[in-house]
Amino acid sequence: MMNEGRCFVIGDIHGCIEELEILLNSLAPGSDDTVVFLGDYVDRGPDSKAVVDRLIRLQGEVGRCVFLKGNHEDMFLAFAGQPGHHGQAFLYNGGDATLRSYGLEGYVGPALWERLPDDHKLFFLRLVLHYRSGDFLCVHAGLNPAQPLDGQSEEDLLWIRGEWIRASHNYGFTVLFGHTPMRMPFVHWPYKIGLDTGLVYGNALTCFETSERRFWQVRRGETQVREWIPNRVIPMP
């Protein structure tokens, strides 16, 4: 039986492999730890394929990896002829950068899907919509506060923004979410914490360590992970 370890929840990456590597090397998750990713691994950034390669390898390095589906993965699946939604919007939302990273520009539908590496196809097909860890629920975009937990639609879990961010809720846990980029973590305690801090737009990749209630960040183009605390930043040991 696995010992109780740390749990790290990481926001939207969008193809930014260098900052992902720096964060993982600094956190150094081990065989007792869980690492949860909130989705949006692909599109817009410099190397979506390298990000997926790294996440696949990470499964053999830590106790547990949880990969949520983001709206960008859902669009990619639909664009590649697999179950998904809004595939027609894939290229307009940074999908051209993803195809370029795979060397598959111009491909679409089954012709694209069959050319993806087999382990990447399995990765995309196994993405999940939510994950519960103690007092926290992890989703990509958020929840529809007007609906019960068991009445949430996949569309809301992947796409909701304003009505979720503005509302409180009584679900009984703190929701960790990404999807909506902000300049700093959005902390609406005890209801929700937003962890998409706009890495691909030049800001930062953010991680929340649930067991210690601490935030870790690496800023775009930097090489040091720092602890984020409201109003001050402390270098990570």
Q: Cα-flanking dihedrals φ and ψ of residue 83, to 5°?
A: -60, 125
- pLDDT, residue 233, reads 46
Whether residue 156 contacts residue 141, with contact meaning beta carbons closer than 8 Å, is answered with yes
How does the average pLDDT of the chain come out, rounded?
94
- pLDDT, residue 3, reads 55
- pLDDT, residue 4, reads 75
CA distance 43 to 47: 8
What's the pLDDT band for 218 if we cut at 50, 70, 90? very high
The residue type found at 187 is: V
Query: pLDDT tens-digit profile of 115-165?
Result: 999 999 999 999 999 999 999 999 999 999 999 999 999 999 999 999 999
Whether residue 128 contacts residue 66, with contact meaning beta carbons closer than 8 Å, is answered with yes
CA distance 173 to 165: 15
Whether residue 5 contacts residue 189, with contact meaning beta carbons closer than 8 Å, is answered with no
CA distance 161 to 237: 35
Please say if the pLDDT value at position 2 is more than 60: no
Whether residue 110 contacts residue 119, with contact meaning beta carbons closer than 8 Å, is answered with no
Q: If you search the block for the tokens 């195809």, which residue do you land on?
A: 99
Chain centre distance of CA 57: 16
- pLDDT, residue 157, reads 98
pTM score = 0.95
Strands 186-188, 34-37: parallel, antiparallel or unpaired by DSSP?
unpaired
Please say if the pLDDT value at position 71 is more than 60: yes
Query: pLDDT tens-digit profile of 168-179?
Result: 898 999 999 999
- pLDDT, residue 231, reads 61
